[in-house]
Amino acid sequence: MAATPASDSTALDADPAFALHRGGKIEIRSTVRVRDADDLSLAYTPGVARVCSGIADDPALAADYTWVSRVVAVISDGTAVLGLGDIGPSAAMPVMEGKALLFKEFANVDAVPLCLDCTDVDALVETVTRLAPSFGGINLEDISAPRCFEVEQRLRDALDIPVFHDDQHGTAIVVLAALKNAARLTGRTLGDLRAVVAGAGASGVAVTRILLEAGIGDIAVSDSKGLIYDGRDGLNPVKQALARDTNKAGRTGSTEEALAGADVFVGLSGSTVSEEAVASMAPGSIVFALSNPTPEVHPDVAARHATVVATGRSDFPNQINNVLAFPGVFRGALDVRAGSITENMKVAAADALAGVVGDDLSATYVIPSPFDERVAPAVIAAVAAQARADGVARL
């Protein structure tokens, strides 16, 4: 889109998306009233000085006497925004505002969008580490792979608050929940399934890792050069680790070749998969074509051959939407002041999501709607309980 001079920007408001975003989508509101001098003296000086002194003597008091323990920073460098790619921090801000909006709307979590004008891993880690004392959790967003893996791990190591890269783990939680229900619908367990994951970026790696953690029978991952296998040349460290832990049969070749006889396809690559490849899958197959806005295979085409089909789109059944996970995960972690988000907490969130479907399970309902009011409470309770069980809760 050609640049529009600021003086003419009102012309863009003919587009309802621009009109909705005018002035931003979030704001900060006060939680106390300042009606007179007495209120002012308590909310600010001199009363605030007593609270500051108390926190200086006992830093743990900040969790009770500031907003820190209940607010999340939504942080991006703008290098992998939606399907738009590296568009920079300013252009990423509407997405980060939207993320903060979803935190508030779906789990009553306050969140602050922060788009950083740096892409170097060291600079990102240092910047977020310096910002961390103002927040109870860090939600990383739209940071390109493979840098995102190192950024998250280093921040997890450095900080004693939850650090969660939603592109990885939010997607993984929802995929696991939907796949558990799809397996149940077809009379199988995860251990019975052979899966193929197309895409070895942030979401593809995280989905693979959580499925391994949950006991998937067999799983192979492909990138733009084909299947990842032990001994393949040119693998970065993340893909080398995948090669060691997946594809036990040592399959080589393309994604479509690997789909022959497979039970599950998870598409997170932006590539395409032919109808013939879907037709070659095992009976009772499960297809999660999750690239947006264009799935790897059209859901109507996949449904000719697969028992369960899911996409990332809202206009087809079984939408794999991260908003089912991240608001409740953070709220559950914040409620117990967890120091981190463990793998068990992610699996517990997936189990809770799957459980919301219950006896209403069908081929077009393996995952609940984001607007199902049971979702957030179920995820919050499961994550909080698991945090206590894992010993990372402070409350």
> Is 180 a catalytic site residue?
no
Catalytic one among 44, 65, 225, 248?
44
Strand order in the sheet with 286-289: 226-227, 218-223, 194-198, 264-267, 286-289, 308-311
Question: Which residues have C-beta within 8 Å of that of residue 157, sequence separation ≥ 6?
Answer: none
Q: Name the residue with tokens 């309902």.
A: 365
Q: Is the peptide bond before 46 cis (omega within 30 degrees of 0)?
A: yes
51: left (phi over 0), alpha (psi -120 to 50) or beta: alpha
DSSP label at residue 281: S
- The DSSP element (H or E) to which 288 belongs, if any, is strand 286-289
| Burial (CB count within 10 angstroms: exposed 0-12, middle 13-18, buried 19+), residue 15 | exposed
Residues 94, 95, 98, 103, CA torsion sign: negative
- The DSSP element (H or E) to which 131 belongs, if any, is helix 121-131
On whether the CB atoms of residues 246 and 226 are closer than 8 A, the answer is no
Catalytic one among 99, 180, 239, 346?
99
Q: Name the residue with tokens 């009553």.
A: 108
CB atoms within 10 A of CB 250: 11
* Bridge partners (DSSP) listed for residue 311: 289, 319
Question: Which residues have C-beta within 8 Å of that of residue 124, sequence separation ≥ 6?
Answer: 77, 116, 118, 143, 147, 151
- DSSP 3-state assignment of 360? helix
Question: Which residues have C-beta within 8 Å of that of residue 343, sequence separation ≥ 6?
Answer: 210, 213
> Is 65 a catalytic site residue?
no
| Rounded Cα distance, 69 and 336, in Å | 10
Catalytic residues: 44, 99
